[in-house]
Amino acid sequence: MDTFPYLAQSAFPLVWILVLAIGAFLRARRARSRQEALEIWQRWWAIGAFGIGSLWMTVAFLVIPDAMAAAIGFERTPFMVEIAFANLGLAVMGFRAASASARERITIGLGGGMFLWGAAIGHVHQWFANGNHFPGNTGGVIVNDILVPAVMIALAVRSRRLAADPRPIAA
């Protein structure tokens, strides 16, 4: 196995997190309050990680199913279409979360978490039980599956707490 292509494929899901983190960081530097900065992070996270990341998975599973099957170490099956549409549901929830309340974002994070955390458990099981070390089964995809909903929930919980105490950011 050639190391660089493996690492590049394995790390690819982290692109969405990296790009949105850079964008949110740069945009939030101009925020006038902690609440405004947190809102920026939540919107970027919702659109980037949940929305665009999940939409990418939808398109990939529908348009290049053979490449996706090879990346995850399985044969192509009709189940991949179900995965594509489950990701489409996550994308819709992510785009909705961009303008949602903190309570709705918690619910969206929990709903997405049920699918993504279950997927992470499946990836880890395949990794250890069957030795599946394919780049689409280990590495970035597991990190992504765990962090996307967890961060959505954490940011929304923090937002609810800050709503009662909107102190300005220190200069």
Return the pLDDT at 163. 82
Provide the 3-class DSSP secondary structure of residue 77: coil
Residue 138, classed as helix, strand or coil, is coil
3-class DSSP assignment, residue 168? strand
What does the alpha-carbon distance between residue 72 and residue 134 come to, in Å, rounded to a whole number? 6
Bridge partners, residue 168, by sequence? 33
Residue 168's φ and ψ, nearest 5 degrees, are -70, 160
Query: In this predicted structure, what is the pLDDT of residue 8?
Result: 83
| Cβ neighbourhood burial of 99 (10 Å; 0-12, 13-18, 19+) | exposed
- For residue 12, the model assigns a pLDDT of 86
Burial of 39 (C-beta count, 10 Å sphere; 0-12/13-18/19+): middle
**Cβ partners under 8 Å of residue 150, min gap 6:** 109, 113
Give the global pTM: 0.89
Residues pairing with 53 in the sheet: none
For the chain (171 residues), the mean pLDDT of every run of 10, in chain order, is 77 89 95 94 95 95 95 92 97 97 96 97 96 91 95 96 69 50
- Token pair 């997405």 is at which residue? 112
pLDDT of 166 reads 55
What residues does each domain of the chain span? 3-163
In whole angstroms, give the CA distance from residue 156 to residue 61.
30
Q: What is the pLDDT of residue 25?
A: 96
